[in-house]
Copies of this chain bind each other. A is one copy, B any other.
Amino acid sequence: MTQKIEKLLKDQGVRPTAMRILIYKYLLEKNVAVALTDIENAFAKSDRTTLYRSVKTFEEKGIVHQIEDGTGIKKYALCEDGCNCEIDTDLHLHFHCSTCNETVCLTEHKIPHINLPTGYTAENVNLVVKGICDKCSSQQKTIR
């Protein structure tokens, strides 16, 4: 496991330090997008700045992508294999649940092509749907 991650990080041009490996593992085991604060809370002995800069490096090297889910808090999630964060091919829908407050990548749901008025050039597209996630809606059923 750790071996693989080390290799993966190296391949992306990121030095596999102890903390970075831990962060990567954490992102891997979470199946939702995480905030910096989440990572901070996951490790008792961690400095926010280090985490901040590690994640930033990950982002620059294409290891994670940043998600703006509308909460005002930046979230991060691992990129898919072979992802280049390219518009039309890699960018996908994100879903933010207003009940559990979790944000997930719906990697199967790519962003539809958007027509823009003349003169406008798209560099990036952010599509976030807010509502109730599957877990929360099935809990609702269970309750009643």
The 9 A-B pairs at the shortest CB distance, nearest first, are namely A119-B134, A123-B131, A68-B70, A124-B130, A122-B131, A121-B132, A121-B131, A126-B128, A112-B112
Q: Is A93 an interface residue (CB 8 A)?
A: yes
How many monomers of this protein are in the complex?
A: 2
Which residues of A, 100-144, contact B by the 8 Å Cβ criterion? Answer: 106, 108-109, 112, 114-135, 137-138
Q: Is A82 an interface residue (CB 8 A)?
A: no
A135: B residues at CB distance < 8 A: 119
Which bucket holds chain A's interface residue count?
A: 35 or more
A134: B residues at CB distance < 8 A: 117-120
A93: B residues at CB distance < 8 A: 114
A131: B residues at CB distance < 8 A: 116, 120-124
A72: B residues at CB distance < 8 A: 68, 72, 74
Q: Is A98 an interface residue (CB 8 A)?
A: yes
C-alpha gap A127/B125 in the complex (Å)? 7
Contact A123 to B132, CB < 8 A, known contacts A70-B68, A72-B72:
yes
Q: Is A58 an interface residue (CB 8 A)?
A: no
A115 and B109 contacting across the interface, CB-CB below 8 Å: yes
